Amino acid sequence: MLEPDQLPRTLNDYYNRARDSMSSENRAYFLSGAGGEETLLANEEAFVRARITPRPLREMGGGSTATSVLGQRLAAPLLIAPFAYHRLLHPSGEIATAQGAGAQSIKMILSAQSSVELTNVQAAAQGCDWFQLYWMGSRQATLELAEMALAAGFGTLVLTIDAPVQGVRDREIEAGFQLPPDMSAVNLARFAPPRFTAPDEGQSFIFDRIAHHLPNWDDVAWLVETVQVPVLLKGILHPEDAARAVSIGAAGVIVSNHGGRVLDRAPATLDVLPTIVERVGPDYPVLMDGGIRRGVDIFVALALGAKAVLIGRPVVCGLAVAGELGVSHVLRLLRDELEVSMLLCGCASIDDITPDMVHLKL
């Protein structure tokens, strides 16, 4: 275990240490993206294009990063993005992540593909009460998974809609990534994966087999209406899909391309965020993720209309390098950097961060 004085000092250092210490299989699984990784890179590159204008000499005493989303108080406008199989990175897996987040009063969204039972993660730390689910092949199975989470104490659901099939992840394929025998999505054990027969001559496996088990908007509307808790849709990139989410009663949307892991050449999330916010209006909860590597990136995303952001790979790296302590430290660094950005731009509160402060270079 690392002592506090052995921890990396910067977010960049966390990334480098994590990348260098991971097995090649884990590196490919956690840090790579789909195809040629154009979208993975574009997410980060969009933030690099942002230019922010400082505003000195404003009164900053008593400022705060606190905010609220869906009526829930957040110490800072960031949450841990749902990601699978934390036990590949640390023996305590999702429990270490939840405790690291809890130590910073940051919420963690637990993935349906958690490698630890959801009841144990929920009980491990305060603030782990958002659960991410995938469509489980039928309305009945999806509702059963949602009800399992609700019974365990989760109160907000995130339905991920952008990964109906796995992306073509070249680096993962080349590294021969496979889950070790003692690793699985334990909470999904009771749901038998659909068994597909081979397609008939001239048929497509994707369109004639898998596609028959995928959800449509009516299914999602049914889920939103049936569960008695807020449901956010994760994986929105088109303004009309955001408007549809509003119309079916989703509590919010998460602008996301799954961290560039599904459709390579999907747009950078930061680039589409403003048009989505414009379409649904400034009061509707629009969150975003993808490519946030620094606290100043959070500032940029908020300025362009996000109510909060989700953090994926920086937390992956914190967990890989130093478990619970690493997660906590990464979140602290992000928040400290956000505070520096706010102070330099004359924003004493999250509501003070406005679109005119950021310019995206073409």
How crowded is residue 1: how many other Cβ atoms within 10 Å of its Cβ?
A: 7
Out of 26, 39, 122, 132, the residue judged to bind ligand FMN by CB under 6 A? 132
Query: Cβ 239 to ligand FMN, closest distance in Å?
Result: 19
Q: How does DSSP classify residue 350?
A: G
User: Which residue is listed with tokens 């365990």?
Assistant: 152
Residues 6+ apart with CB under 8 A from 196: 205, 209, 210
CB 14 within 8 A of CB 317: yes
Beta strand 286-289 pairing with 252-255? parallel
Q: Pattern 222-261, binding to ligand FMN, x per CB under 6 A?
A: ------------x---------------------x-xx-x
Record the tokens describing residue 116, joined without a space.
């630890």
Dist. CA 323–CA 100, nearest whole Å:
8
Residue least distant from ligand FMN (Cβ): 312
Beta strand 107-110 pairing with 252-255? unpaired
Number of residues that bind ligand FMN (CB under 6 A): 24
Query: Cβ 84 to ligand FMN, closest distance in Å?
Result: 4
- Nearer of residues 81 and 145 to ligand FMN, judged by Cβ: 81
Residue tagged active-site, from 86, 90, 258, 329: 258
Out of 111, 115, 142, 328, the residue judged to bind ligand FMN by CB under 6 A? 111
> Residue 244 is which amino acid?
R
Query: Cβ 211 to ligand FMN, closest distance in Å?
Result: 20
Cα–Cα distances in angstroms (integers) from residue 286 to residues 248, 275, 329, 346, in the given order: 15, 11, 26, 24
Restricting to residues 263-322, name those near ligand FMN by CB under 6 A: 289-292, 310-313
- Nearer of residues 130 and 284 to ligand FMN, judged by Cβ: 130
Out of 67, 99, 115, 160, the residue judged to bind ligand FMN by CB under 6 A? 160
Element (H, E) at 310: strand 308-311
CB 14 within 8 A of CB 330: yes
Query: Cβ 90 to ligand FMN, closest distance in Å?
Result: 14
For residue 30, state whether it binds ligand FMN (rule: CB under 6 A). yes
Dist. CA 121–CA 110, nearest whole Å:
8
Query: Cβ 250 to ligand FMN, closest distance in Å?
Result: 15
Restricting to residues 164-203, name those near ligand FMN by CB under 6 A: none
Please report, in angstroms and rounded to a whole number, the separation of the first and last CA atoms in the chain: 45
Dist. CA 246–CA 252, nearest whole Å:
7
Out of 15, 47, 83, 284, the residue judged to bind ligand FMN by CB under 6 A? 83
Dist. CA 97–CA 125, nearest whole Å:
9
For residue 113, state whether it binds ligand FMN (rule: CB under 6 A). yes
Active site residue 258: yes
Q: Pattern 35-74, binding to ligand FMN, x per CB under 6 A?
A: --------x-------------------------------
- Nearer of residues 289 and 339 to ligand FMN, judged by Cβ: 289
Annotated catalytic residues are 258
Residues at the interface with ligand FMN (CB under 6 A)? 29-30, 43, 81-84, 111, 113, 132, 160, 234, 256, 258-259, 261, 289-292, 310-313
